[in-house]
Structures are given as structure tokens and as C-alpha cells.
Amino acid sequence: MEKLIITAALTGAEVTREQQPNLPLTPDEIAEAAYECYKAGASIVHVHARDEEGNPTQSYDVYKEIKEKIAEKCNVIFQPSTGGAVWHSAEERMQPIELSPEMATLSTGTTNFGPDVFMNTEEYILKFANRMKELGVKPEIECFERGMINNAVKLAKKGILNTPMHFDFVLGVPGACPGEPRDLIYFADSIPAGSTWTVAGIGRYEMPLAAQAITMGGHVRVGFEDNVYIEKGVLAESNAQLVEKVARMAKELGRQVATPDEAREILGLKI
Ligand code: KMH
Ligand code: ZN
């Protein structure tokens, strides 16, 4: 089986210090968390920026600072968010693409997101995808619902998305698709042959879906964006502790963990 790519989703846009006291917020804290996760086995970091008050921002400058600070420490793949927070405009959300990162997220549909709506109209999706293509940024296609896979396949048929595509199934968001074993099987069975996929299980779904993905040959995303607990009722000390747990599970299940350069090879990124 292919080596396992572990992504650390370090901060997110929704989690607060009240919910997770060790949440990294400043560029220095995010870069340090990225480095710790890299040492624990992560080959990708999924990054959301925060402003000086700790609120979500899609500022080009803040993402640039984070990207540079991470690159000073290690060669982990930097994957900024184009999702931002539900209240960000499409223009704000697009800003980190201009840094020409190796990867960035691309949500291919609209979903309920807790009490809110995470808006991704066809117009947005085309704008984001076209700009990523122009700048050679590989999209990680975020699918919260099954139809979002079809939307991506349609874009690939039109040549707007390059193949093979890389998907992230985000399962267990309140208001969207849950993260039961059958949900992951259905999503993984629905993508075009030759695609790669990872799973981000939200909340209590995180570790069970990680174990399932390890055995199915997929990849795994964990981190405070998705879940703040290391076990039921016990807050994780750090993002790296969650990555360590997945790396340990992979070892027990006989799957080797990919380095960043091995992840680049698996995903078809330039080395
Ligand atoms: N914060 C969510 C509304 C992404 O990073 O691309 C969207 C999100 C997806 O987190
Ligand atoms: Zn995100």
C-alpha cells in the first residue's frame, strides 16, 4: 500500500482558545505547531490565518508570513485554506492562492455548516479553480456532501481541474454528511480511478475514520480545526499529539508514514 500522508489542520476558522487553550493563533505559533506536526509525521499542514485579535482572516500578508516562517523550519507542504470563515467574501478567500502555494483547498459545493451556510456557488468554484490552475496550485477538493464529487468530475471533464485529482472528504460536520464507516466507503467508491483521497473526520469521527482510511489505502487529516480531543473528554495537548496518535495507529496497522517529499511524489507535486 502507498505510504500514508498525514495532514495537520492546525487552527481552522471556528475553534477558539476557550475550547482549546493550546490553539495556535499567531504566525509564530502556527509555524511552531507546523514544525512539531512535521516531526510527528505530518507531511502537509492545512492552514487558516488569524488576525491580531485571533479572528479568522484571509489576509495575503498574514498567510505570507506564516508560509515563510514554516519554510524556515521544515519542508512540510503548506496548504492554505480558500474556505476561510463562512462570512468571508470570495475575494477575501482567494487571497492565499496568490502566494502560489503547492496546494490549496477547493470546496466544490455549498453546505450547511452548523447554524451557518458555507457558500460555494458555481461562480466561486470556477473562479477559484481557474486561478489555481493558472498558478499551478494543486487543489485539495473538499467534499462535505456526495454531490461535490460530481461537481469536481464535471470540472475535470472541462479541463478546469487537472487529473488525477486529490479529494478530502470532510465528514461529520453538523448539518452535513455524517462520518459513519459506510459514508467513507461510499465517498471513496465514488471518485474517478487514479484519484487520491484523504479523510477529515469532525469531532468524535476523527480517529475512527483515520483508522478506516489507513486500512482502506486513503490518507488522513487530523488537527484542532476538526477535533480538539485526544480521547473522549480529554483535550489534546497539541496538534502534534493528534498526528502522533495517527502515526502510531499506522505503525500498528502496518502502514508506513510518508515524508513531505514522498507525499509530493504521491500527489504529483514538483519536488
Ligand atoms: N471554515 C469553513 C467554513 C477550507 O479550509 O477550505 C471552511 C473550511 C474549508 O475550513
Ligand atoms: Zn479549513
Pairing of strands 229-231, 234-235: antiparallel
Is 27 within 8 Å of 69 (Cβ atoms)?
Answer: yes
Give, for 113, the enclosing helix (H) or strand (E): strand 111-113
Report the SS3 class of residue 15. Answer: coil
- Any atom of ligand 1 within 6 Å of the Cβ of 142: yes
Mutate to test the pocket of ligand 1, among 105, 112, 202 (most ligand atoms within 8 A of CB): 105
Query: What is residue 270's predicted lDDT score, i.e. its pLDDT?
Result: 82
- Any atom of ligand 1 within 6 Å of the Cβ of 86: yes
Ligand 2 centroid to residue 202 C-alpha, Å = 11
- Any atom of ligand 1 within 6 Å of the Cβ of 196: no
Tens digit of each residue's pLDDT (9 = 90 or more) over 95-153: 999 999 999 999 999 999 999 999 999 999 999 999 999 999 999 999 999 999 999 99
- Any atom of ligand 1 within 6 Å of the Cβ of 13: yes
Which domains occur in the chain, in start order?
Answer: 6-267 (3.20.20.70)
Report the SS3 class of residue 208. Answer: helix
- Atom from ligand 1 closest to the CA of residue 56: 1
ipTM reported for the complex, 2 dp: 0.99
Tens digit of each residue's pLDDT (9 = 90 or more) over 156-194: 999 999 999 999 999 999 999 999 999 999 999 999 999
The neighbour count for residue 261, using CB atoms within 10 Å, is: 13
Ligand 1 centroid to residue 233 C-alpha, Å = 25
Q: Grid coordinates in use for 37? A: 506536526
Ligand 2 centroid to residue 216 C-alpha, Å = 23
